[in-house]
Structure 1
Amino acid sequence: MADAEAAKPWRTRAVRLYTALKGGFVGRCTARAFEIQITDRMLALAAQAFLALLPLVIVVAAAAPDSVTDGLVDVLRKHVGLSGGSTTQNIEVIAEATDEAGVTVVGSLLVLLAATSFSRALQRVYERAWRLPPGGLRSAWRPLAWIIGVLVYFVVLALTFKVSLGGVPWTLTRSLITAAGSLVLWSWTPFVLLSGRVRWRALWPTALATSCGTVLLGAFSAEYVPHLLTTNERRYGTLGVAFAIESWLVVLFAVVVAATVVGTVLVETPGRVGVWARGTPMPEGWRRIPRREARARGGRSRNTGDKPGGDGGGDDDGIRPT
């Protein structure tokens, strides 16, 4: 009996600690990660990026001018770590072979449409993280628009890498442009794929977390991945290189999905941090009603956190005032 009585305080403390962790920020992030099935999501994104995006990059490299192609290879070297060995040479040879064979309009469109399978998978991740229903047929064009926007982003980034002449000033400038471009990309990505149903202000924490995570991963990859690729290529040939790239993609999208979870939970956090992230003290203040839906509701677009029957304002931009 004495031992049982002595054990009760420890059990009580353990229960209190578990309750605190479960209700805290880390606990809520963990629960949201399990809710969206983070393991399945990052594996699916990695597989679809490998099967859908890489052929699109090859087509763009084959159809683009030499300056853009060289810049894309430089981007792969810096962010993926494809430097040294014959891996980069193989990519260049594939692009040259595709260029010599010719890239037809129909083939390019098929590759582009196939790449939308990746953007649709990423769209489902954002919708689950924000607990939003699918956008429907009206938003069916957004995955394709996102793919085109990402291609433009990489072409601009490739040209930036190409015109950099070297030296510390150019290296610093290129790093700043890369970081700023990454922040813009990961702010624009969820806004487009979520059909504009989340305010820009509420997407900043996700964009900042994703941008920092991907930039740090790119710096780490530039140091570690070349050795991994060289080792796998020497041991297993081209198949080993494919496994290494697929593993890198899994890590990349683990960072992307985890940053999405952290940003989403941060916006929903009560207290000053959540108010700052949302830009409003209202718990549902992160919601945004797109213009088309606002017009269908009779212009009640300010009251984005309430039901359609609530009081609304006349601002048709769908953004709740801060």
Structure 2
Amino acid sequence: MANAGATDDATDKATTTLRRHAGKQFARLKGGFAGRCTARAFEIQITDRMMALAAQAFLALMPLVIVVASAAPDSVTDGLVNVLRKRVGLGGGSTTRTVEAIASSATETSVTVIGFLIVLLAATSFSRALQRVYERAWRLPAGGLRSAWRPLAWIVGIVVYFLVLGLAFKVSAGGGPWTLLRTVITTAGSLLLWWWSPFVLLSGRVRWRALLPTALATTCGTLLLGVFSARYVPHLLSTNERRYGTIGVAFTIESWLVLLFAVVVAATVVGSVLVELPGRLGSWARGASAPDAWRRVPRREARAKNGRDQAPGDHENGRKSAE
């Protein structure tokens, strides 16, 4: 009996030690970079966000691309078709010919100003969804009515990006050094796009320096996804097209968009958590040692705050002293 009691005590002590050790490891993991990123991803509901972004991109941005192709010169239209071939994996099947026919026929028809504005406003549903992702990842409140124009400004910026990218692909067509030039243009354009996007959609409340890790992570992730897509997506797309027709291509593109925005949302989480870390890594990410150094007060809000903080008599005293 004594031996049994001693054995039970030893087992209890070993179990307690193991639990204590596991608790310390869990606390260390939770407080580390990976644990914080995981917690932030669950906090913003990353699965729902990337699915919503993919669906709205498919329904809102695709019509915008067609409208841009109809209004752009032929060289830009050809470049946009080449981008679809390389990025999405459209090969030489009937779906590719359908896309080319839509783009070429759209250039022969005129697009009214009202029609373009309707498509442009409809596309803002995607930019508003992306704006909410950035705000939740950075734990910032909604911008309010003063920032209502920013999703539309982002759409205008993405239109310009499409035009420049299409023209660049058309001008740099060919192999050899042109391939390197296209890679440089694509990388630089992606970095600028994902650096500028959160700054605009967050209403300028995060400093440019603090947004650089997010831009770098998003650019690296999308470039790696592009390499993966160029290798595997064309075969998958052609297989689904042969089995299910155009609807199979739609499912493939939608799946690719889910992967794309999974990368975008994950990179946003990584960037936002990185600037909040204590220590040298966090100081480097936000550009200063202060924990809240990543925050930025827009000029309009700063002027309004200074006006509220100033006493009513200070205006009169300042006027008299100036006289």
Residue 192 (1) aligns with residue 163 (2): no
Greater relative contact order, per chain length (Cα 8 Å cut-off, separation 6+)? 2
Could you tell me which residue of structure 2 aligns to residue 277 of structure 1?
285
**What does the per-residue CA deviation read over 1:219-251, in whole Å, with 9 as the maximum and x for residues that have no partner?**
211111111110111111111111100000000
State how far apart, in whole Å, the 2-side matches of 1:269 and 1:6 are: 35
State how far apart, in whole Å, the 2-side matches of 1:145 and 1:252 are: 22
Could you tell me which residue of structure 1 aligns to residue 38 of structure 2?
30
State how far apart, in whole Å, the 2-side matches of 1:157 and 1:195 are: 26
Residue 268 (1) aligns with residue 279 (2): no
**What does the per-residue CA deviation read over 1:273-315, in whole Å, with 9 as the maximum and x for residues that have no partner?**
0001111111011000001011112289xxxxxxx89xxxxxx
Residue 180 (1) aligns with residue 204 (2): no
Could you tell me which amino acid in structure 1 is paired with residue 128 of structure 2?
A: R
State how far apart, in whole Å, the 2-side matches of 1:22 and 1:84 are: 49
Could you tell me which residue of structure 2 aligns to residue 88 of structure 1?
96
Cα drift, residue 102 of structure 1: 3.6
Q: Which runs of 5+ in 1 are unaligned?
A: 301-307, 310-322
State how far apart, in whole Å, the 2-side matches of 1:110 and 1:258 are: 31
Cα drift, residue 16 of structure 1: 1.2
Could you tell me which residue of structure 2 aligns to residue 316 of structure 1?
none
State how far apart, in whole Å, the 2-side matches of 1:224 and 1:21 are: 35
Q: 1:250-265 maps to which residues of 2 (within 5 A)?
A: 250-265=258-273
Cα drift, residue 6 of structure 1: 2.1
Cα drift, residue 101 of structure 1: 4.8
Q: Which runs of 5+ in 2 are unaligned?
A: 1-7, 311-323
> Does the 8 A contact of 1:84 with 1:226 survive in 2?
no
Cα drift, residue 81 of structure 1: 1.5
Could you tell me which amino acid in structure 2 is paired with residue 298 of structure 1?
A: N
> Does the 8 A contact of 1:46 with 1:253 survive in 2?
yes
Q: 1:1-322 maps to which residues of 2 (within 5 A)?
A: 1=8, 2-298=10-306
Cα drift, residue 15 of structure 1: 1.0
Could you tell me which residue of structure 1 aligns to residue 318 of structure 2?
none
State how far apart, in whole Å, the 2-side matches of 1:289 and 1:3 are: 58
Cα drift, residue 14 of structure 1: 1.1
The alignment covers a number of residue pairs equal to 302
| Distance of aligned partners of 1:299 and 1:264 in 2 relative to their CA distance in 1, 3 Å threshold | farther
> Does the 8 A contact of 1:78 with 1:219 survive in 2?
no
**What does the per-residue CA deviation read over 1:170-215, in whole Å, with 9 as the maximum and x for residues that have no partner?**
1111101110111111000000000000000000000000011011
Q: Which has the larger radius of gyration?
A: 2
**What does the per-residue CA deviation read over 1:59-109, in whole Å, with 9 as the maximum and x for residues that have no partner?**
111221110110001111122222232222111112234344542221111
| Distance of aligned partners of 1:299 and 1:209 in 2 relative to their CA distance in 1, 3 Å threshold | farther
**What does the per-residue CA deviation read over 1:110-141, in whole Å, with 9 as the maximum and x for residues that have no partner?**
01100000000000000000110111111111
State how far apart, in whole Å, the 2-side matches of 1:212 and 1:245 are: 21
Partner SS for 2:176: helix
What is the identity percentage for the equivalent residue pairs of Structure 1 and Structure 2?
Answer: 75
Aligned alpha-carbon RMSD (Å): 1.5
Structure with the higher fraction of residues in helix conformation:
2
State how far apart, in whole Å, the 2-side matches of 1:165 and 1:153 are: 18
> Does the 8 A contact of 2:205 with 2:295 survive in 1?
yes
TM-score w.r.t. structure 2 length?
A: 0.90
| Distance of aligned partners of 1:165 and 1:94 in 2 relative to their CA distance in 1, 3 Å threshold | closer
State how far apart, in whole Å, the 1-side matches of 2:272 and 2:222 are: 18
Could you tell me which amino acid in structure 2 is paired with residue 37 of structure 1?
A: Q
> Does the 8 A contact of 1:179 with 1:215 survive in 2?
yes
State how far apart, in whole Å, the 2-side matches of 1:267 and 1:299 are: 31
State how far apart, in whole Å, the 2-side matches of 1:72 and 1:38 are: 30
State how far apart, in whole Å, the 1-side matches of 2:234 and 2:93 are: 8
